[in-house]
Amino acid sequence: MDRYNFKISETKWQQEWEKRGSFEVTENSMRPKFFVLEMFPYPSGRIHMGHVRCYTIGDVVARYKRASGFNVLHPMGWDAFGLPAENAAFENNVHPAKWTRENISAMREQLKSMGLSYDWRRELSTCEPEYYRHEQKMFLDFLEAGLAYKRESWVNWDPVEQTVLANEQVIDGCGWRSGAPVVRRLLSQWFLKITEYADDLLESLSELDRWPDQVRLMQANWINRSEGATVNFALSGREDTLEVFTTRPDTLFGASFCAIAPNHPLALALSEDDPALAQFIDHCNRLGTSEAAIETVEKEGYLTSLTAQHPFSEDWELPVYVANFVLMEYGTGGIFGCPAHDQRDLDFARKYDLKVVPVVAPNGKETFEITDEAFVGDGKIINSKFLNGLDVDAGKQRAIEELERLGSGSSKISYRLRDWGVSRQRYWGCPVPIIHCSACGTVPVPEVDLPVTLPEDVDFIQSGNPLDRHPTWKFVKCPKCGEPAERETDTFDTFFESSWYFVQFGAQDQARRFSRSEADYWLPVDQYIGGIEHAILHLLYSRFFSRALTDCGYLNVKEPFAGLLTQGMVCHETYRDPTEVTGGWMFPEEVLRQSDGEFINRNSGAPVIAGRSEKMSKSKRNVVDPESIIRTYGADTARLFMLSDSPAARDLEWTDAGIEGAWRYTNRLWRMVAEPSDPIAPFRTAAPSKFDNHSKELLRKIHRTISDVSADFDAFRFNRAVARIRELTNALASFTGGGDDRAWTRRFGFEISAQLVAPVMPHLAEELWSILGHKTLLTDTPWPRADECFLSEETVTLAIQVNGKLRDTIELPVDVDSVIAEERALALESVARALDSATPRKVIVVPNKVINVVF
């Protein structure tokens, strides 16, 4: 019994597609366009299973759409700037540029071995000046349009390494290398005005009907538009006021304190004469800048000497705290606390023994006490003078009216979304095209001087940004006055590159920027595919960029991604050597599963502990190398397994048994066509005039499969599509006999099988197509269409229930009269037994589905 030789076949068809330029596209086509894009990879060194999964999904969509008559753009590129290259430079003394470019070459070869239908002519790499020069121009345009500005903002600072740390590099409040406690530090940095588009970014979410609801909801919550009010508290004995933002002005009569952020100007001013406060602020600043760190830390406050005057009551004074949970970045950097109706305020009040006065009672309750849970629901306002008796919404409105009348506040819409800080104090990124002149200030690099190229003659011996230490690079003449000046040594956040790369794929020639007509033709991306972990930042930044680029005349599209598919992670069981106290993680290939289900070390025979399945990661060593899988089983089998077991959106568990099963199927399908045990009609035989019942039944199955698989691909239900194709294979395998009608039907079934499986296993499908006698490529063959007249059934099986429990099934003609159906059901012996001589009270007949006899 022969086996499918995937090595020969896969190489052959990959070469054939390349020779013919099968996947090269232009915008000059009579076919409608379809832009399929997978999130481009960071070139970390080698592809991992997550890449294989994502790019397999994208390739199925691209090939399916291509066969379905679309002019498909399906490109690939490299998100090539970023921190890991600098870490590699630091650890292995290899230049980030060399490391990155070598990784790209290696990964490109790996991707090519998967047989992905990319137009490789459009490949781009974000670390090359031909790419990033365009974003330097974009930045200058943003500056001109008022969409970029500079201000001070906080970073994590490692006092030992004397360098800025990414949040990822802060572990338990300490620098990852030095172990020294991290402090916050203010730096002057560039920001992009994403908040200018906050409303539009929020409202347009409703138009993104081919995005997962989950992602739209996450984005909406991230932007978080909230209607409320600003309230100005007069400060006793001072001229200035304390401005706070609140979404609950209706609860003002329940206020028991005010709190400001540790870095609020008022707090900083007070700390000059208050060493204890200065110490408290210092203590707060020892926390990293991440929201998770701030929100999970124990709530602490420092009571200042300030007192705030309640706007609605002459002699009501509130204490003012500096509190570690108040964010300077949100609202005004100050709050008023109403413990009865906000859980965090309640916790704070309990800790510092502040009053808790309920001012909203749940509907139907006259009196109301708060114990350890704040009441945040709707109700009637109490204890609040002129607000009493109103509901929450009316109370908000009335309170704002009163604030406005008193001149101590007004209604205000606030967003949680903050402007995007794009400055990074790092080497391996796109240089910010700005020159600092002592006379002229901040001067943009003139367009003719672009690109500002990243110098490659740098060293990584010291920590910090090597651009700062470069002997010549930053010293330039001021473009305005000609006097000596200095380049900005910050680079852009790498999200900058990934916010517009999809547009650049439209350019036929990657040596130049995309043209307006190319962008107009290809955008938006019709189907975008990537990990759920990018649900907020990358997607939101890209949506902002499209708007900003549209406003600057580059494009005319607000929403860059019309369809979005977020795929789950690839997971694997973890293994540990029990003799190791910490770590001891083992690679799957070091472990052997015995017949009793226990695991042992493949070499030593020592026992191994198997842990639960987790996302494949280098640190836990629960990784399987795609290259070795492709070498052992071929790309098609790897692709099949990636799609067959789990829905795309869910996590996928890698198992050896699973890939083995996929490999068996690959061979089974190949053998069925290449070494058929029953006759096949010759190539291009006309259909016989008559079919026997078996052939008719199989024809129905074939057409039903075409219909189902097409619907499954349309809805990205790849696992179900694979199951349907396997069912067809099973039906073909048990279809024997050799008359003309059967031989013809068998050929038809084989051809359809090859066509349906082609998006998933393109090499095998091409091989089968060729074996079946075709001289043209399956890749250039239109998607099959199901013949409607084979899809309708004459009878249907109905479930017969008694009191909702299944008792029987009956076969009835489709759309049979309800009265007849009911009679047939009641006549059943099984129904009579279940009724046990009781009289049916009513009978519910759902046509073609179920009959429920209720007694």
Partner RNA sequence: GCCCGCUUGGCGGAAUUGGUAGACGCAAGGGACUUAAAAUCCCUUGUCCGAAAGGACGUCCGAGUUCGAGUCUCGGAGCGGGCACCA
Member of 317, 468, 727, 740 binding RNA (CB under 7 A) = 727
567 C-beta neighbours (distance < 10 Å), count: 26
Residue 97 binds to RNA (criterion: CB under 7 A): no
Member of 120, 222, 386, 735 binding RNA (CB under 7 A) = 222
Q: In the complex with RNA, which residue's Cβ is closer, 193 or 480?
A: 193
Q: Which of 75, 78, 77 is nearest to 36 (CA)?
A: 75
CA distances for 831 relative to 78, 97, 801, 838, angstroms = 66, 77, 8, 11
Q: In the complex with RNA, which residue's Cβ is closer, 658 or 679?
A: 658
Vertex 61, ends 746 and 661: CA angle to 5°? 55
Residue 517 binds to RNA (criterion: CB under 7 A): no
Member of 650, 675, 827, 838 binding RNA (CB under 7 A) = 650
Residues 264, 322 contacting (CB under 8 angstroms): yes
Member of 417, 443, 539, 768 binding RNA (CB under 7 A) = 417
Contacts of 520 (CB under 8 A, 6+ apart): 555, 556
Least distance from C-beta 225 to RNA, angstroms?
Answer: 12
Member of 186, 269, 733, 838 binding RNA (CB under 7 A) = 733
Member of 104, 722, 754, 757 binding RNA (CB under 7 A) = 722
Among all chains, which residue has been given the structure tokens 């993104």? 208
Enclosing H/E stretch for 260: strand 257-260
Q: In the stretch 596-615, what mask flags binding to RNA with x, by CB under 7 A?
A: ------------------xx
Residue 651 binds to RNA (criterion: CB under 7 A): yes
Tell which positions 812-851 bind RNA, by CB under 7 A: 830, 833-834, 842, 844, 846, 849-850
**Candidate ranges 290-298, 313-321, 749-757, 820-828; the one touching RNA (CB under 7 A):** 290-298
Member of 807, 812, 821, 825 binding RNA (CB under 7 A) = 807
Distance CA 159, CA 178 (A): 9
Tell which positions 314-373 bind RNA, by CB under 7 A: 329-330, 343-344
Contacts of 648 (CB under 8 A, 6+ apart): 57, 565, 567, 568, 716, 718, 719
Q: In the complex with RNA, which residue's Cβ is closer, 697 or 740?
A: 697
Q: Which of 375, 249, 269 is nearest to 312 (CA)?
A: 249
Enclosing H/E stretch for 665: helix 656-674
Contacts of 302 (CB under 8 A, 6+ apart): 276, 277, 280, 321, 322, 323
Token pair, residue 840, equals: 């049916």
What is the CB-side half-sphere exposure of residue 815 using CA atoms within 13 A?
3
Member of 806, 820, 832, 838 binding RNA (CB under 7 A) = 806
Least distance from C-beta 651 to RNA, angstroms?
Answer: 6
Q: Find out whether the peptide bond into 813 is cis, omega within 30 degrees of 0.
A: no
**Candidate ranges 56-64, 211-219, 447-455, 740-748; the one touching RNA (CB under 7 A):** 211-219
Residues in the chain: 855
Q: In the complex with RNA, which residue's Cβ is closer, 383 or 809?
A: 809
Member of 101, 726, 774, 824 binding RNA (CB under 7 A) = 726
Residue 151 binds to RNA (criterion: CB under 7 A): no
Tell which positions 420-449 bind RNA, by CB under 7 A: 420-421, 423-426
Q: In the complex with RNA, which residue's Cβ is closer, 312 or 375?
A: 375
Distance CA 48, CA 349 (A): 50
Residue 291 binds to RNA (criterion: CB under 7 A): yes
**Candidate ranges 250-258, 274-282, 406-414, 658-666; the one touching RNA (CB under 7 A):** 658-666
Enclosing H/E stretch for 42: none
29 C-beta neighbours (distance < 10 Å), count: 12
Q: In the complex with RNA, which residue's Cβ is closer, 57 or 476?
A: 57
Least distance from C-beta 17 to RNA, angstroms?
Answer: 28
**Candidate ranges 89-97, 235-243, 288-296, 544-552; the one touching RNA (CB under 7 A):** 288-296
CA distances for 319 relative to 338, 352, 355, 552, 595, angstroms = 13, 11, 11, 49, 70
Token pair, residue 443, equals: 């001067």
Residue 416 binds to RNA (criterion: CB under 7 A): yes
Least distance from C-beta 799 to RNA, angstroms?
Answer: 3
Q: In the complex with RNA, which residue's Cβ is closer, 234 or 835?
A: 835
Tell which positions 660-679 bind RNA, by CB under 7 A: 660-661, 664-665, 667-668
Residue 477 binds to RNA (criterion: CB under 7 A): no
Residue 534 binds to RNA (criterion: CB under 7 A): yes
Member of 15, 29, 188, 214 binding RNA (CB under 7 A) = 214
Residues 305, 296 contacting (CB under 8 angstroms): no
Residue 510 binds to RNA (criterion: CB under 7 A): no
Residues 491, 424 contacting (CB under 8 angstroms): yes
Least distance from C-beta 761 to RNA, angstroms?
Answer: 14
Residues 687, 770 contacting (CB under 8 angstroms): no
Buried b (16+ CB within 10 A) or exposed e, 394-433: ebbebbbebbeeeebbebbebbbbebbbbbbbbbbbbbbb
Least distance from C-beta 723 to RNA, angstroms?
Answer: 3
Enclosing H/E stretch for 690: none
Q: In the complex with RNA, which residue's Cβ is closer, 16 or 347?
A: 347
Among all chains, which residue has been given the structure tokens 């089998």? 637
Residue 165 binds to RNA (criterion: CB under 7 A): yes
CA distances for 651 relative to 535, 628, 720, angstroms = 16, 22, 16
State the first-to-last Cα distance of the chain, in angstroms, to the nearest integer.
Answer: 61
Member of 218, 592, 609, 674 binding RNA (CB under 7 A) = 218
Distance CA 115, CA 718 (A): 18
Least distance from C-beta 10 to RNA, angstroms?
Answer: 20
Indicate the Cα dihedral angle 628, 631, 633, 639, nearest 10°: 80
Size of the site for RNA (CB under 7 A): 104
**Candidate ranges 313-321, 534-542, 618-626, 752-760; the one touching RNA (CB under 7 A):** 534-542
Q: In the stretch 627-646, what mask flags binding to RNA with x, by CB under 7 A?
A: -----------------xxx
Least distance from C-beta 401 to RNA, angstroms?
Answer: 29
Enclosing H/E stretch for 547: helix 537-551
Least distance from C-beta 388 to RNA, angstroms?
Answer: 28
Q: In the complex with RNA, which residue's Cβ is closer, 186 or 606?
A: 186
Q: In the complex with RNA, which residue's Cβ is closer, 711 or 777?
A: 711
Q: In the complex with RNA, which residue's Cβ is closer, 247 or 655?
A: 655
Q: In the complex with RNA, which residue's Cβ is closer, 70 or 420?
A: 420
Distance CA 540, CA 498 (A): 11
| Residue 389 buriedness (CB in 10 A; 0-12 / 13-18 / 19+) | exposed
Least distance from C-beta 821 to RNA, angstroms?
Answer: 13
Q: In the complex with RNA, which residue's Cβ is closer, 162 or 343?
A: 343
Q: In the stretch 117-136, what mask flags binding to RNA with x, by CB under 7 A?
A: --------------------
Residue 580 binds to RNA (criterion: CB under 7 A): no
Least distance from C-beta 38 to RNA, angstroms?
Answer: 12
